[in-house]
Amino acid sequence: MMALTIKDALNFGGLKKCRLIAGKKGLSNIILHANSMEIPDIEPWLTKGELLITTGYALNSASLNLIDLINIIHRTEASGIAIKTRFIGPFSVEAIELADKLGVPLIEMPDDLPFVEVLTPLVKAIIDEHHSRLEFSQTIHNKFIDLELSGGGFNAISSVMCTLLKAANAILNANFEIEAIEYPKTNYTNKLESFCTNLSNSSTLLNFKEKPIIFYEDIETNTLYRVRKMSNKNETYGYLILQEDPDSKNEMSDIIIDQASTAIALEFSKQHALNEQMKLIGNHFFLDIITGNIKSEEEAKLRAFNLKWPSPPLRLVIFDVDQFDKIIKNKDEYYIQNIKEFILNTIELKFKKVTENFTVIPKSDSFTCLIPSTCIENTLLYCIEEIQDKLNLKLSINFTVGISSIFYSYTALIEANKEAREAIKISRLTGGNSKTVFIENNRLEQALLQVADNEYLQNYIQNTMGVLEKHDKENDSELLETLNQLILCMGVKTQAAQNLFLHRNTLMYRIKKIEQLTGYNLSDKNHLLSLAIAMKFYPFVKNK
């Protein structure tokens, strides 16, 4: 099956009796239609790929001559002109030169040649070619649909494409990760794989995201690639990448690529729907566990296995978006959903570099991750830092991250979730430098959370730290920070003064003021210890 060209048409039917006068560069022009018209205002009636057959009678009009007609054929991307010279006489040198320059085939027809001898076989050939194309397209369509129905997946689609096109191809997901790749057995190179691997760092990445199809030449390997985006509405599912051979490009290959692209898009859509369903089921399962609806570890194991959750021992890592309400204020649902998808995608991509065995459970403004206990603390911290940096750069979003201790059963998720949430609360209450808190490194703070509601404790804190904070606010002083530094320096006044960049006399004045307001003697180690305990409790009590 090949498209009908001017060169083909000159070898059968009435056109065999005709002579090409000029425009040899256009012999490969494809003929999609053939028509006969004799009107001066012909341009609106011409279409791309149309072969115009005419007596030239209209060219006697003052408004149209052969030079004009050649220019019109070129502008409308028609295939060429087959014309009799009875009414216009021999072709002028100017017309021949223009047709050669523009690549417009100029064909001279014998005056006694009936149009029907030209049009009938030509139209039949066009119809036959269209029919062959449709048949071929349907055959290829059925082949790829059969693959989808039989659950062949990306590997099967890639393999069939490789067999039909005899060219290397790769299917990538939206994150430019390879889902399937196939090479002709007789022509294996790793150029395509290297190209795909480096694609996410390529300067052409934005072009891939914004255009449905681009052709990209890799100068280093002297290889041409066709990159086709798979998308639905505003969502990109993935990419098809083909190693192009310009010499073998034809309509058949375009049809194969079109049909394969449909199958790939269907597969991505199917996977997307399945992933969304699995996320929903995973969310329900997680809620069932942390609300105590699942008592049996055996039931939990079975459901976790079906969801492909990692096996214990595990840690729970919760990313909680800071001030999420402000971020989404006055934003529509589509924008909010896109933000959540980007966060989820970023977390999953970064964790994949640490371990393949993990699960992320998105819920509202937090993202709960189950990760193997084998992931060491420093590696985990580095991964979280990378996630935070990327999201802050792209979306100006910050997180507080709470990490549970290691747990050894799925039903222990209740306690692990509580620990991770308490770690987040500790970070926000204490306002420490780190936004990531391992609960096992903050057991004292965890204990303080549990007793912060005690009435006697609250009165004690209010009569010490509360009094100092009130004085600081009313007098623009820094008594709380002065006391904090004195506690950190174990009562050593010279060191506290250095840390506060104060003259010793100024420090002594502040100490006397603190003693007056609290009734405690800061030179007494026991009194200092009492205030140190109050200082430790203060963040947990003052927010009650």
**Percent of the chain topping pLDDT 90:** 55
d(CA 193, CA 177): 11
d(CA 488, CA 9): 95
Segment 114-123 shows an average pLDDT of: 92
Q: Per CATH, which fold does 151-272 belong to? A: Beta-Lactamase (3.30.450)
Tell me the per-residue pLDDT of 136-171, one tens digit each, with 9 for 90 and over.
888 888 888 888 778 888 999 999 999 888 889 999
Q: Does domain 452-542 have CATH number 1.10.630.10?
A: no
d(CA 392, CA 136): 51
Q: What is the chain's length? A: 544
**What pLDDT does 505 receive?**
92
Residue 352 token pair: 């994949």
Segment 461-488 shows an average pLDDT of: 93
Segment 203-214 shows an average pLDDT of: 62
Segment 458-483 shows an average pLDDT of: 92
Could you state, in order of their start, the residue ranges of all structural domains in the chain? Answer: 6-126, 151-272, 294-441, 452-542
Segment 173-186 shows an average pLDDT of: 86
Sign for the pseudo-dihedral over CA of 495, 500, 502, 507: negative
Burial (CB count <10 Å: 0-12, 13-18, 19+), residue 447? exposed
Asked if 314 contacts 372 with a C-beta cutoff of 8 angstroms, the reply is yes
Is residue 319 within a helix (H) or strand (E), and if so which, with residue range? Answer: strand 314-321
DSSP E strands, 184-306:
213-218, 223-232, 235-244
Closest CA to 129 of 220, 43, 34: 34
Segment 287-292 shows an average pLDDT of: 93
Long-range contacts of 271-274 (CB under 8 A, 24+ apart): 272/237
Lowest mean pLDDT among 15-24, 46-55, 86-95, 131-140: 131-140
Lowest mean pLDDT among 45-59, 111-125, 181-195, 360-374: 181-195
Token pair 């062949």 in the structure block, residue: 152
**What pLDDT does 246 receive?**
65
Residue 206 has pLDDT above 60, yes or no: no
Q: Where are the alpha helices (DSSP H) in 291-355?
A: 297-306, 324-327, 333-352
d(CA 51, CA 33): 6
Q: Give the CATH number of domain 6-126; options: 2.60.40.10, 3.40.630.40, 3.60.15.10, 3.40.1390.20.
A: 3.40.1390.20
Segment 15-29 shows an average pLDDT of: 94
Comparing 6-126 with 452-542, is the CATH topology the same?
no
Segment 230-247 shows an average pLDDT of: 80
* Residues 486-510: b if buried by 16+ CB within 10 A, e if exposed: bbebebebeebbebbebeeeebeeb
**What pLDDT does 208 receive?**
56
* Most confidently predicted of 51-60, 241-250, 491-500: 491-500
Segment 213-237 shows an average pLDDT of: 81
d(CA 37, CA 180): 52
Segment 538-542 shows an average pLDDT of: 84
Segment 370-397 shows an average pLDDT of: 91
Reported confidence tier of residue 245, pLDDT bands at 50, 70, 90:
confident
Asked if 464 contacts 479 with a C-beta cutoff of 8 angstroms, the reply is no
Residue 375 has pLDDT above 60, yes or no: yes
- Which superfamily is assigned to 294-441 in CATH? Reverse transcriptase/Diguanylate cyclase domain (3.30.70.270)
d(CA 109, CA 93): 18
Angle subtended at Cα 267 by Cα 263 and Cα 270, rounded to the nearest 5 degrees: 135
**What pLDDT does 316 receive?**
96
Segment 256-275 shows an average pLDDT of: 88
**What pLDDT does 252 receive?**
83
Tell me the per-residue pLDDT of 82-105, one tens digit each, with 9 for 90 and over.
999 988 889 999 999 999 999 999
Is residue 84 within a helix (H) or strand (E), and if so which, with residue range? Answer: strand 80-84
Closest CA to 436 of 536, 533, 524, 322: 322
The pTM assigned to this predicted structure is: 0.68
Segment 309-336 shows an average pLDDT of: 90
Phi/psi-derived region of residue 473, left when phi > 0, alpha when psi is between -120 and 50, beta in every other case? alpha
The single-letter DSSP state of residue 450 is H
Segment 105-122 shows an average pLDDT of: 93
Residue 327 has pLDDT above 90, yes or no: no
Residue 302 has pLDDT above 80, yes or no: yes
Bigger pLDDT: 356 vs 54? 54
